[in-house]
Each structure stands twice: as C-alpha cells, then as structure tokens.
Amino acid sequence: MELARQVAGPGVAIVAAGGLDQPDHPLGTDAALVVRSVAAAWSEAGVLVLMDLGSAVLSAETALELLGEERRSRVLLCPAPLVEGAVAAAVAARLGAPLEKVASEAMAGLTGKQAQLSPGPEQTAGAAESERSGALQETGEFASSEGPEPSPGEGSVADGVELSITEPLGLHARPAARLVETVGNFDATVTLENLTSGKGPVPANSLSMVATLGVRQGDRVLVRASGPQAAQALQAVVDLAAAGFGEPSAPRPTESAPVASDTRPLATSAGLTIAPGEVLRGFGVSPGIASGPARHLQSAAAGLSRDALPGLAASQSSKSALTDSPTGHGFDPEVEWARLQAAIESTALDVASERKRVLAAGASDEAQIFDAHLLLLRDEALLGPARSMVDQGRSALDAWESSVATMAERWRELSDAYQRERVHDLESIGAQVSAHLRGERRAAVLEPGIVVVAELTPAEVAGFDPAVVSGVGAAFGGPTSHGAILVRALGIPAAVGLGEQLLSVPEGTPLLLDGSAGTVCIDPSPSEHGSAVERAQHRPDGDDRARRMAAEPAVTIDGTRIEVAANAGSIEDAERAAAIGADGIGLLRTEFIFMDAEAMPTEAQQEAVYRRIAETLAGRPVVVRTLDVGADKPLPYLSRPPEANPQLGQRGLRLGLARPDLLLAQLRAVLRVAADHPLKLMFPMVATEAEVASAMELVEQARSELHSEGVAVPDKGSMQVGVMIEVPAAALGARTLAKSVDFFSVGTNDLTQYTFAVDRDLASVASLADAMHPAVLRLIDLAARAALAAGRWIGVCGELAADPAAVPVLIGLGVRELSVSPPSVAAVKQAVREADVTSCAELAARVLELPSAAAVRAEVARNRSRTG
C-alpha cells in the first residue's frame, strides 16, 4: 500500500480494508471494514477493490451487497494481483483513467514480472501485449533536428532519444510511475524500448507495460514519440531522466559543482542554495521596510520530525489549557458532533497547507505523511465510535480522545512493526483535532521577526500580532489574495510570490524585507541594511502632511467631497479605521468575523459585533457586506461539497441564496443594529438581477419577521442596500441592476480576476492582471454611467482604490467613495485633495482608449507632471 501510495500521489485515495478488529485474531477480512474503506476512498469516479483469495473475496462481495444501490454500480471488485495490480492501478488512477481502465491496468500488473522471469527478446509478453492492443506506433515522425538537446548519458537518434539509465535500481516502480505520468501530460504517443535486453517497444503510458522492459542500471533505453506534442514529450522525458526520475539519489554532477569561494551557502534543502545578499523578488503587498530573523510559521502539532526538514524549524505554538466546556448551558449532541466535525475540518485545512509547504521545500517523501493524516481524519473506525459516544452524552473532546486512544491501543498490540509505528501518526493527528476543540487553533509566532510562509491564508494572518511580526514574506500567492489584504490592514510590511527558495531559508537567518518593492534580501550586508533603513526614514514631505490631515474631509481642488472610508474585517480593524480618521467603513467583510468563530455565529452574536463596530464609528456610515465565503475563505464548520474551481463556485451571495437560513440570520442581525446606527447593506458576488431580487425578498422577510416580533427595524427604503460590482456580468448589466439598488461598490480584486481569468491567489499569473488595465476601467466606466444615470452613487472598495495613481482616474469615471485598508486612508485622502474633477474626467476619457495598464500609468504620471 505504501508503494502504491507513493506512485499514486495525494489525489488518489488508497485505503487498507484487510484484517479483523480482534487483537488476538487479526488475520481475516471484515465486510463492515470493507464498506467503511470504500466510503473512505470514495470518489465520484468510483472505487476499485483488490483482494487476495479466501475470505477476502467473500467479504468484498458481502460489502458490495451492503453498499447502497447508487454506490454499488461504481465499485469494481477486481481479481488483479494484489501488489503489482495495486501499483499499476494507482498510476492509472493518478492519470485520471476511468475505473474500467484502472481495472485493466491492474489486471495487466503481472506482465512485467512474467516478462522478466521468462525473457525472450523476440516476443516478450510486453511486446506481444502492445502489439495486440495496437498501441505501438510506427516511428519516424519525430525528427532528431527538432528534438531535445542530448545531455550526458543521452543520445539523439533518428526518431527519438536514447537514454542511459543510471538509477541504481533501474526503472523500478516509482521512477517508472513518474515516467508514465510525465508522458501522460502530452498529446503524443510515446514508446519505450530496452535496447540492452531487446525488449519492447511498449507504450510508455502504461506502467505494467513499462515494467515488462525490466530496465536495470546501465541499460540503454530508446524513447520514441509521435503526435502533435512529440517534441515536448521527449524533452520532458529527457528532463525527468536528468533529474534522476525524481528519486532521492547520490548527488548528480551538477549538484556537486563547487560553489564560488565568496559565497557561503545558507541552505541546500531541496537542492536550493541561497547565498548571503541574495535578493528574492515578488510582489509588494504592504509597504514598509522590515528587518529581522526569519520565523517559519508552523501549523500546530504537525507531527513531522523537524530534523528531516532543515529549513522548516518549528516555532512552538503556545497552548493555553482551556477546558472543554464550549457548549455552555445544556448538552446538545448535535452541537457537540458539529463541533467535532468543525475541528476535524480545521485540522484537515492545516494538514493540507502544511503538506503544500513541505512539498514546496522539496520534501515529497515527508509530504506523504500528511496524506496518511488526511485519510485518518476521514476514517470511519475513528469517527463511528466518537459519534456513538457523543450520542451517549460525552463531550466532543472526550469522545474524540477516547476513540483515538482505543484505536492507538489496538494498533500498539499488532504484531506488524510498521503498523505499530503508525500509532505516532494517529496520536499526532488526534492531538491536532483536540487542540482545535480546545481553542488552541492557530500557530502563534512567539519570537519577533519576519514570518515566512508558503502562502498567506486569512486564518494565518488572523494570528499575527504586529508587535511580534515585523514583516511577512510568502513564497506563493497573488497581491490581491485575502491574506495579503488582511496583512496590509494590519500595517505589517509584506511581500508575496517570492518563490519557493524562500522556504529553504533556515530559521533565524537575518532578512531584510521591502514591502513596497516586493523583495526579501537574505542575510544582508551592513551597507544593504543601512541603505534600506535610510529609505524607510526618508519619507516625502507630503506623507507627514497627509497623516496630520487624515481625519479631515477629502475635497478635490474644485470642491467635490469624496468619501474615503476604510475596509474592515473585525472590531479591531474598525477601531483602527476610527482612530486614523476614516469617513466610515466602506466594506465590512463579515466573513472574517465568521472565520474567527469556532461555530456558526448566532444572530445575537452577530448583532453584538455589528453593534460594537457601529458604535466604534460613532455615527459614520458602515457598509455591511453579507457573508462572502467560498474560494480562499472557507468556513471550517460549514461543510460543503468540494469544487474543482472554487473561485467560480458557490461564493458570496450564491451561497447566501442556497442557504437562506444563514443569510436570514445575518440580515436580521444587521436590521436590528440598523435601527440605531447608519448601516448600509451590500451583497457580494452578484451576477444577475434575479439574484438581487431574491436577496431583496429575504431582506423584506427579515424585516417583517422582526417587525411582527416587536423589534425596532428601519423602514423600507431608509436603509440603503447596494451590490458589489465584481463579476463582469454585473458591470455589463449595471443598467438593469441600478434600478433595484441604492448604490454600487466596485470590487476590483475580483473584477480583475474574472476579467483576465487569472486566479487572484496565483503568483505565477499575477502580473497579467493589473486593475489599471483599460479592460477593467471600461467595466468600471459602464457601471459608473449606469449608476449616475439612475441617480445612484458608486464607490470602489477593491485594492485599486488605495493606489494613488488610480485615484484621479476613478474620480474621473464618477466614483465618489473610495474604501481602502486603514493604513492607506491618509495617502488616499491626500491624493483626492490634489485632484480636480474636470481634469480627472478628461484623464479618464483618455486612458479608456489606451492599450495597456502600463500606458495608463504612464498617462497618469504625465498628467500629474503637467498639472503640477
């Protein structure tokens, strides 16, 4: 199973279904365990069940009977050889083959062994099979002149590439699986032939066929490809061979090249060498200079030996010993069970993110530990007993811990040493779930320094204390990801998309981070350090003036008032906004309040938070946006079906309409506060008028419910209701939408993401998507014209509003409210004071016609120098 898991990778679930639950008689098969294992491995594509002879067959057949009608049709019992079949099936499943193909690959699993034990160059089992299947192609379509450059050990032949296999164990299961996976990525027919033994050729997209070649160290292998992507497929195979087929092996010649004498390598994890003074470049997301030691953020109790990962030394999280009494008054098994599920989901998120981090550091073997942890979290053998105990009146924590302890005890008694060792995994994952149940859910950074993370998630940022975290660097992620937005709100200098090398920097290494330039300098020299400090101290004169005037209204040269409000996601943000002098809250991201909670906040809990925020703003308006969860903002306690493209899935208002119970509770809480404070309501991720109509019906339902309960609510029409313009369909349909709402607020982060089809969390494509591009500006123009024609106001609450270069353009398009993170309020107000509405309108008209974001920025700069 371990070998099959290795070749399958994390996307294919492989679950052991054998054995009996009786310590004294562990040998045998239990149909109920087979049913649970099928459930644990379940995917819509189906499940393949492999078994040996004897009771296994009977139990598997009984299990099939026990499965529901719908699932039964997607489970195949397969007589393939257990070990070879599992490995061949794992590779086929990894490549996305349908269930029947996975089964036939498993059935062919023995052909490699048969071929090796009864070799015959003229007619090997593999060659015979491949000829039967017609998979062998005529060669000759691939011209050597277009082929990849041969490297040492490889030669280019007339119609393909010859490789010399240097791997000590030859092309055994794992390297062969990688080869099969690699060629599977291309639109090409690739064949493999063992020139040394004369076996083959065989299709390279079948593990069992590749195995028939019996490739050993020193063998020469001929790879041929034909089809549209033949050249790319061959190049990929050559690259894979040059990388030792991804196997941890003795250093290859390129790795052992001597380093220049003036560089002291700091880290070599994952083959990455970092020299002092090296500068990593990404995207600046929160301005400011920070210097300090690297602090790797580590999810609580990941259960992995830090020794194995030199760059990932853990910073211990502090664990306060809270008691397990979260349900308050009265015991409700359903509430307890929901708490346990929420803790399990939160742990699964932690594990998945830790896995990503470890993989990025090149430790793919260690990353597989996390796959096992994820499977344990779904294991019915743990969950079933826990559920029964909760039903019998035990708390979530008590039930979980005793279920884990019982299983650990059983595993310890097993004779199999490997299984005994897995107790460590079980206890580790058990402790993580327990920590969530106790409320010790976030990794804390205790030592001052610059936090280094793989990706900045909202949950992680929520745990940052600006007094301890002086800067944040992320290896991955885009500049408008929600983590980046949150860290900017905290005023902590930050850069994202710095590359995976960042993760190899050893704990404690001195770093110098520039949050404006988006760079991190590793182990800077005193002069590099000195000049950065000077840069940080040298602020243009305007900055101080802007700060002094931050609480004053922002009025353009020709007398137009522009509201400069703040974006907030918590009571603390609201306090920052009020302190800095924001004109109100232009976007309250309520989902962060929900993400901060252990369970779905009740109407009363929500009311208390909204009321506190409104009181903090003391009469200034607060735009409350309804829950915008989904995509990178999951609610751990709200279980939802997985989505292949969550940014295009059930996000924002779509979820609210699918779960009107949640939206109604929120609307009721908002209306209660709106009776006493100037709240406005806003719906996120609107695409159509029909969605707005349904949402408005819910507002009216909430209002009349409260009214009939005798609760004071604002009259219809006295609380403004608006929508976000962040889906191109909403901008294009703004004329219709404007008739139904009081205002628009443009979410340029999502509007840019959807206009350019660029995931806002992905650094690799981030530079494509600049909100200053005329494609986005034209959509804003459409929305602004529609708003103004209908007598509505329009604001911008996406990150573009905080870009001083964008301010005159947005004012020129008709925008009259800008909502930005609290630290940007002063600078944006100052930019408004330097603008003149008439010349802004001329500027806006000009830039809409330009071809690129760069041209727009250049035109804004020219305009500024012209108008002084």
Binding site for ligand PEP (CB under 6 A): 485, 587, 589, 628, 726, 747-750, 797-798
263: amino acid identity, one letter? T
| Cβ 564 vs Cβ 583: under 8 Å | yes
| Cβ 534 vs Cβ 814: under 8 Å | no
CB of 780 to Mg ion, least distance (A): 14
Of the two residues 354 and 628, which places its CB atom closer to ligand PEP in the complex? 628
DSSP 299-315: -TT----GGG-GGGPPP
CB of 638 to ligand PEP, least distance (A): 17
Question: Cα–Cα distance between 270 and 421 in angstroms, integer?
Answer: 26
First-residue to last-residue Cα distance in the chain? 71
Question: Cα–Cα distance between 481 and 749 in angstroms, integer?
Answer: 8
CB under 5 A: which stretch of 201-209, 223-231, 298-306, 726-734 binds Mg ion?
A: 726-734
Of the two residues 4 and 724, which places its CB atom closer to Mg ion in the complex? 724
DSSP 65-120: HHS-HHHHTTEEEE-S-HHHHHHHHHHHHHTT--HHHHHHHHHGGGHHHHHHHS--
Question: Cα–Cα distance between 850 and 337 in angstroms, integer?
Answer: 57
Hey, is 136 helix, strand or coil?
Answer: coil
CB of 171 to ligand PEP, least distance (A): 47
| Cβ 160 vs Cβ 139: under 8 Å | yes
Of the two residues 80 and 780, which places its CB atom closer to ligand PEP in the complex? 780
- Helix ranges, 541-617 (H): 541-548, 571-580, 590-595, 603-617
Of the two residues 219 and 726, which places its CB atom closer to Mg ion in the complex? 726
The pair phi, psi for residue 522, each rounded to 5°, is -95, 125
Q: Which does 803 bind (CB under 5 to 8 A by kind): Mg ion, ligand PEP, none?
A: none
Q: Which does 758 bind (CB under 5 to 8 A by kind): Mg ion, ligand PEP, none?
A: none
CB of 311 to ligand PEP, least distance (A): 31
Question: Cα–Cα distance between 295 and 318 in angstroms, integer?
Answer: 15
Q: Which does 817 bind (CB under 5 to 8 A by kind): ligand PEP, Mg ion, none?
A: none
DSSP state of 649: S
Of the two residues 401 and 726, which places its CB atom closer to Mg ion in the complex? 726
Burial of 497 from C-beta contacts in 10 A (0-12 / 13-18 / 19+): buried
Of the two residues 311 and 747, which places its CB atom closer to Mg ion in the complex? 747
Q: Which does 748 bind (CB under 5 to 8 A by kind): ligand PEP, Mg ion, none?
A: ligand PEP
- Using CB under 5 A as the binding rule, the residues of this chain from 253 to 272 that contact Mg ion are none
Q: Which does 589 bind (CB under 5 to 8 A by kind): ligand PEP, Mg ion, none?
A: ligand PEP
- The count of other CB atoms within 10 Å of the CB of residue 868 is 5
**Number of residues counted as binding Mg ion (CB under 5 A):** 3
Of 226, 223, 192, 474, which Cα lies nearest the Cα of 353? Answer: 474
CB of 175 to ligand PEP, least distance (A): 43
CB of 589 to Mg ion, least distance (A): 9
Q: Which does 9 bind (CB under 5 to 8 A by kind): ligand PEP, Mg ion, none?
A: none
* Residue 786, CA distances (Å) to 113, 447, 745, 798, 814 in order: 71, 52, 13, 19, 10
CB of 726 to Mg ion, least distance (A): 5
Q: Which does 270 bind (CB under 5 to 8 A by kind): Mg ion, ligand PEP, none?
A: none
Of the two residues 382 and 746, which places its CB atom closer to ligand PEP in the complex? 746
Of the two residues 469 and 730, which places its CB atom closer to ligand PEP in the complex? 730
Q: Which does 797 bind (CB under 5 to 8 A by kind): Mg ion, ligand PEP, none?
A: ligand PEP
Q: Where are the beta strands (DSSP E) in 667-759?
A: 679-683, 721-725, 743-746
Of the two residues 9 and 747, which places its CB atom closer to ligand PEP in the complex? 747
x/- letters, 199..238, toward Mg ion (CB under 5 A): ----------------------------------------
The pair phi, psi for residue 462, each rounded to 5°, is -60, -20
| Apex 485 CA angle, 548 and 374, nearest 5 | 150
| Cβ 240 vs Cβ 246: under 8 Å | yes
Choose, by CB under 5 A, the member of 440, 726, 761, 803 that binds Mg ion: 726
Question: Cα–Cα distance between 126 and 609 in angstroms, integer?
Answer: 68
- Using CB under 5 A as the binding rule, the residues of this chain from 739 to 758 that contact Mg ion are 747, 750
Which residues are marked as active site? Answer: 482, 797
Hey, is 374 helix, strand or coil?
Answer: helix
Of the two residues 189 and 748, which places its CB atom closer to ligand PEP in the complex? 748
Residue 303, token pair as written in the block: 């259960």
Of 792, 585, 744, which Cα lies nearest the Cα of 679? Answer: 585
CB of 724 to Mg ion, least distance (A): 6
| Chain residue at closest Cβ approach to Mg ion | 750
Of the two residues 201 and 798, which places its CB atom closer to ligand PEP in the complex? 798
Of the two residues 411 and 610, which places its CB atom closer to ligand PEP in the complex? 610
Question: Cα–Cα distance between 9 and 177 in angstroms, integer?
Answer: 10
Q: Where are the beta strands (DSSP E) in 247-361?
A: 279-281, 283-286, 289-296
The pair phi, psi for residue 16, each rounded to 5°, is -80, 130
| Cβ 135 vs Cβ 232: under 8 Å | no
| Cβ 564 vs Cβ 828: under 8 Å | yes
Question: Cα–Cα distance between 804 and 830 in angstroms, integer?
Answer: 9
Of the two residues 512 and 763, which places its CB atom closer to ligand PEP in the complex? 763
CB of 748 to ligand PEP, least distance (A): 5
Of 457, 455, 461, 409, which Cα lies nearest the Cα of 430? Answer: 409
Hey, is 725 helix, strand or coil?
Answer: strand
CB of 817 to Mg ion, least distance (A): 16
CB of 682 to Mg ion, least distance (A): 11
Hey, is 828 helix, strand or coil?
Answer: helix
709: amino acid identity, one letter? E
The residues that touch Mg ion, with contacts defined as CB under 5 A, are: 726, 747, 750
